[in-house]
């Protein structure tokens, strides 16, 4: 458990590490204490580590690494030495070769500020219930990823005209008969100038939880595209169709009725993220002692830009424009806030609704699917303003 005082101390430390003490901390509400893991993270699974960021930590544009969610399908590699690590590049290429960490460091480096979100973020809110890790709001974070462009590595290998997809293989320790973590992305996304072989996160080498010594960074796409602990990059003639591509990480081509099974022949691999916003504060169920409230949160939309966030303080009857934070980057979330004064004590329902540059707006109800991917319904919290 963390106390309110500890939370404020930690949060200001985190904000200091990323540049500034965030003014919103002055408006922190009476968040109920919660059972928390190391660094205040919510532990969703211990066997294969899955850590969620609690809403209180959506307070800085760049998420400090200790607050960045962790999603592991298997055990992290136990013996991974930087000196002996090698990345092989092969498949449909003219000159297969391998790279050491030192070789990657000598290549031209590129930085991408990216909001990474797990496809299953928000799964807990789907109705009816969907099995899987019950992520609520915080399987998402924004970081500065740095490393060589995947394009430069592929150019050196010389991709043949038959090369249509690029496969990543991670070094996870695979328990029993579980298939290894292998996924692929189309060659167009792999050769986009912002797709990286990332070795650094927020200016420091990747930590083990986040893929040390190197991970793929496929910006704007679901987190599963960004394979951690990379060992192999292979150019393929067609999309990889192993477990984590099929049946994993697929959406129906046409909306399903809740409870309907997924027909794999009428489905596609999940790629870019949806338009989405979340309310970080006040937190759901909190009691506010002041009538002046700063409603705040984050909004993101994968490869598109956020153009507006609207807030309702009357359960969706009326909507007002929120103010967007000035920090922005192509694939990064926008923080937003809305100042509101309660006319009288009572119960209130706050909602947030984002719209992106492709004209997409968050729906009232997210598209239900059997794996609970891409949840993006209008967010809401219920609060109580004290007399």
Of 41, 224, 233, 304, which lies in the binding site for ligand MTE, with binding defined by CB under 6 A? 224
Name residues whose C-beta falls within 8 Å of residue 263's C-beta, 6 or more positions apart in sequence: 252
CA–CA gap between residue 69 and residue 128 (Å, rounded): 25
Does position 172 bind ligand MTE by CB under 6 A?
Answer: yes
The span of 7-15, 94-102, 145-153, 219-227 binding ligand MTE (CB under 6 A) equals 219-227
Structure tokens that stand for 269 in this block: 């691999």
Q: Which is nearer to ligand MTE, 14 or 116 (CB)?
A: 116
With beta carbons less than 8 A apart as the criterion, state whether 286 and 383 touch: yes
Q: Which is nearer to ligand MTE, 175 or 346 (CB)?
A: 175
Q: What is the β-pairing status of strands 306-312 and 42-45? A: unpaired
Q: Which of 45, 278, 294 is nearest to 141 (CA)?
A: 278
Q: Within 151-170, which residues bind ligand MTE (CB under 6 A)? A: 170
Name residues whose C-beta falls within 8 Å of residue 119's C-beta, 6 or more positions apart in sequence: 222, 223, 224, 249, 270, 371, 373, 374
HSE, CB side, 13 Å, CA atoms: give it for residue 15.
Answer: 18
Least Å from the CB of residue 118 to ligand MTE: 3
Q: Which is nearer to ligand MTE, 61 or 338 (CB)?
A: 61
> Cα-Cα-Cα-Cα dihedral of 100, 103, 108, 110, to 10°?
20
Provide the edge-to-edge strand list for the sheet that holds 334-341: 276-281, 292-300, 334-341, 323-324
Of 22, 210, 234, 250, which lies in the binding site for ligand MTE, with binding defined by CB under 6 A? 210
Least Å from the CB of residue 182 to ligand MTE: 9
Does position 251 bind ligand MTE by CB under 6 A?
Answer: no
CA–CA gap between residue 37 and residue 65 (Å, rounded): 15
Q: Which is nearer to ligand MTE, 111 or 361 (CB)?
A: 111
Least Å from the CB of residue 185 to ligand MTE: 12
Q: Which is nearer to ligand MTE, 118 or 383 (CB)?
A: 118
Burial status of residue 131 (CB atoms within 10 A of its CB: 0-12, 13-18, 19 or more): exposed
Read out DSSP for 294-314? EEEEEEE-TTSPEEEEEEESS
Least Å from the CB of residue 160 to ligand MTE: 26
Q: Which is nearer to ligand MTE, 114 or 286 (CB)?
A: 114
The span of 63-71, 107-115, 364-372, 373-381 binding ligand MTE (CB under 6 A) equals 63-71
Structure tokens that stand for 290 in this block: 């002041």
Size of the site for ligand MTE (CB under 6 A): 20
With beta carbons less than 8 A apart as the criterion, state whether 69 and 59 touch: no
Tell me the C-alpha to C-alpha distance, in Å, between residue 187 and each of 242, 272, 384. Answer: 18, 15, 51
Does position 181 bind ligand MTE by CB under 6 A?
Answer: yes
Does position 70 bind ligand MTE by CB under 6 A?
Answer: yes
Helix (H) or strand (E) holding 187, with range, is helix 187-190
Residue nearest to ligand MTE (CB): 170
Q: Which is nearer to ligand MTE, 68 or 375 (CB)?
A: 68
Least Å from the CB of residue 150 to ligand MTE: 15
With beta carbons less than 8 A apart as the criterion, state whether 313 and 348 touch: yes
Q: Which is nearer to ligand MTE, 280 or 293 (CB)?
A: 280
The span of 9-17, 64-72, 298-306, 307-315 binding ligand MTE (CB under 6 A) equals 64-72
Does position 227 bind ligand MTE by CB under 6 A?
Answer: yes
Does position 72 bind ligand MTE by CB under 6 A?
Answer: yes
Of 113, 226, 283, 362, which lies in the binding site for ligand MTE, with binding defined by CB under 6 A? 226
- Contacting residues toward ligand MTE, per CB under 6 A: 68-74, 116, 118, 170, 172, 181, 210-211, 223-224, 226-229
């Amino acid at each position: 458990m963390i106390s309110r005082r500890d939370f404020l101390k930690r949060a200001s430390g985190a904000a200091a590490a990323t540049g500034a003490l965030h003014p919103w901390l002055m408006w922190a509400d009476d968040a109920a204490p919660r059972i928390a893991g190391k660094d205040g993270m919510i532990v969703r699974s211990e066997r294969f580590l899955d850590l969620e960021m609690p809403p209180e930590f959506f307070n800085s544009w760049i998420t400090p690494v200790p607050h960045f969610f962790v999603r592991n399908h298997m055990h992290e590699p136990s013996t991974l030495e930087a000196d002996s690590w090698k990345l092989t590049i092969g498949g449909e290429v003219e000159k297969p070769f391998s790279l050491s960490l030192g070789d990657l460091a000598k290549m031209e480096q590129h930085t991408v500020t990216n909001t990474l979100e797990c496809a299953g973020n928000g799964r807990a809110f789907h109705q009816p219930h969907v099995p899987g890790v019950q992520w609520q709001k915080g399987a998402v974070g924004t970081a500065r990823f740095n490393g060589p462009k995947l394009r430069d590595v592929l150019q050196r290998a010389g991709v043949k005209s038959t090369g249509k997809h690029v496969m990543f293989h991670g070094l996870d320790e695979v328990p029993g008969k579980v298939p290894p973590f292998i996924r692929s992305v189309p060659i167009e996304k792999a050769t986009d100038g912002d797709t990286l072989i990332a070795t650094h996160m927020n200016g420091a080498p990747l930590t083990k939880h986040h893929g040390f010594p190197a991970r793929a960074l496929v910006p704007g796409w679901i987190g599963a595209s960004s394979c951690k602990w990379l060992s192999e990059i292979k150019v393929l003639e067609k999309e990889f169709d192993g477990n984590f591509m099929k049946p994993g990480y697929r959406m129906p081509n046409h909306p399903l009725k809740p409870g309907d099974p997924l027909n794999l022949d009428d489905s596609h691999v999940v790629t870019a993220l949806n338009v989405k916003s979340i309310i970080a504060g006040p937190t759901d169920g909190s009691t506010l002692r002041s009538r002046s409230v700063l409603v705040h949160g984050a909004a993101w939309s994968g490869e598109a830009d956020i153009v507006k966030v609207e807030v309702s303080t009357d359960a969706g009857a009326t909507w007002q424009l929120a103010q967007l934070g000035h920090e922005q980057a192509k694939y990064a979330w926008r923080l937003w806030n809305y100042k509101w004064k309660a006319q009288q004590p009572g119960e209130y329902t706050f909602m947030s609704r984002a719209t992106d540059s492709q004209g997409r707006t968050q729906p009232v109800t997210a598209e239900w699917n059997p794996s609970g991917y891409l949840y993006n319904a209008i967010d809401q919290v219920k609060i109580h303003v004290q007399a």
